[in-house]
Amino acid sequence: MLDHPMRTAIQRALFEDLGPGDVTTDATVSPEAEGEASLIAKEDLVLAGLPVFHQVFLELDADIGFEAFFEEGRPVPAGDRVCLLTGRLSTILKGERTALNFIQRMSGIATLTRRYVDRISATGGRILDTRKTAPGLRLFDKYAVRMGGGVNHRFGLSDGVLIKDNHIAAAGSIGKAVALARRESPHTLKVETEVEDLAGVQEALDAGADIILLDNMPVAQIRAAVKLVDGRAMLEASGGVNLDTVKAIAETGVYAVSVGALTHSARAMDLSLEIISA
């Protein structure tokens, strides 16, 4: 069972599409007609969003049948059937687009994440997401990252301290910002700070930062930072990360590499619903 906030977002999306009704289906399909529909992967992908896909139809019709052939987070080869829906044909047609919009986006994020994760599998590093998600869809986007093997960074501004350049400027220095965060922010949260060069790393270390985010630093510098820190803080690298550069960055020994593109620029996967009237 999906949580209430996810269900609310699903209802919102469904009725954004449905409006006062589906004029085409109401005109051409008998309310009694039954059918079945197979969700087919039209390209290789990592599956994410199947419970959401299912819930879209349940919102319209409690009697819809559902059988899954793959588990969330698993690779699905092009051409394979992901799941089967059975029940009122009109329900299937009315929910189709909304359900596909969710699962295509979510599987797109999972698939892209998996590509990054696979690139660095030999390194012991991990792939982190960011808060660069589609507005209103953060729970879905971050869930999809997990299904792709990625690790979630903060869900929002309240469940992690992350000092950025503007906080540093406001506080006066990295050291002052870290000290303020240590003292004023919840003691259950680690203190993470962004830095731009090795001097920043040293200052963050001296101030006792738990996590240091190396922003837009060249690989050689990242490597030097790893050496300098020597296990006294966790290191993240971000900025300019893509599928070509991620492995070299991860090989420096940083704890994690964060990739905004996972959620702001993943391409939707091609999944299609093949429907047969009963």
Q: At what angle do helices 138-147 and 89-119 cross, to 10 degrees?
A: 60
142 among known catalytic residues = no
H/E element holding 128?
Answer: strand 126-128
- Long-range contacts at 204-208 (CB < 8 A, ≥ 24 apart): 204/174, 204/175, 204/178, 204/233, 205/229, 205/232, 205/233, 206/175, 207/174, 207/175, 207/178, 207/179, 207/182, 208/178, 208/179, 208/182
Q: Which amino acid is at 141?
A: D
Nearer to its own copies, 102 or 220 (CB): 102
Query: Using CB under 8 A, which residues numbered 17 to 46 contact its own copies?
Result: 17-30, 33, 35
Tell me phi and psi for residue 128, to 5 degrees.
-110, 150
196 lies in the site for its own copies, by CB under 8 A = no
The catalytic residue among 164, 227, 232, 267 is 164
Which one of 51, 73, 75, 160 is in contact with its own copies (CB under 8 A)?
A: 160
215 among known catalytic residues = yes
Nearer to its own copies, 132 or 247 (CB): 132
The catalytic residue among 7, 81, 115, 132 is 132
With CB under 8 A as the contact rule, which of the stretches 14-22, 66-74, 77-85, 220-228 interacts with its own copies? 14-22
Nearest to 156 by CA among 136, 176, 172, 174: 136
Tell me phi and psi for residue 252, to 5 degrees.
-65, -20
206 lies in the site for its own copies, by CB under 8 A = no
With CB under 8 A as the contact rule, which of the stretches 38-46, 155-163, 200-208, 222-230 interacts with its own copies? 155-163
Residues in the interface with its own copies (CB under 8 A) total: 102
CB of 160 to its own copies, least distance (A): 4
- Long-range contacts at 212-217 (CB < 8 A, ≥ 24 apart): 212/236, 213/162, 213/237, 213/238, 213/258, 214/238, 214/254, 215/239, 216/240
242 lies in the site for its own copies, by CB under 8 A = no
With CB under 8 A as the contact rule, which of the stretches 89-97, 117-125, 216-224, 246-254 interacts with its own copies? 89-97
CB of 275 to its own copies, least distance (A): 4
Which one of 48, 53, 104, 110 is in contact with its own copies (CB under 8 A)?
A: 104
176 among known catalytic residues = no
Which one of 158, 216, 220, 242 is in contact with its own copies (CB under 8 A)?
A: 158
Query: Using CB under 8 A, which residues numbered 107 to 136 contact its own copies?
Result: 108, 131-136
The catalytic residue among 17, 36, 61, 97 is 97
With CB under 8 A as the contact rule, which of the stretches 53-61, 74-82, 200-208, 246-254 interacts with its own copies? 53-61
- Long-range contacts at 184-187 (CB < 8 A, ≥ 24 apart): 185/161
Which one of 166, 199, 227, 242 is in contact with its own copies (CB under 8 A)?
A: 166
With beta carbons less than 8 A apart as the criterion, state whether 174 and 193 touch: yes
Provide DSSP, 209-243. Answer: -SEEEEES--HHHHHHHHHHHTTSSEEEEESS--T
Q: Which amino acid is at 117?
A: V
Task: State the catalytic residues.
Answer: 97, 132, 164, 194, 215
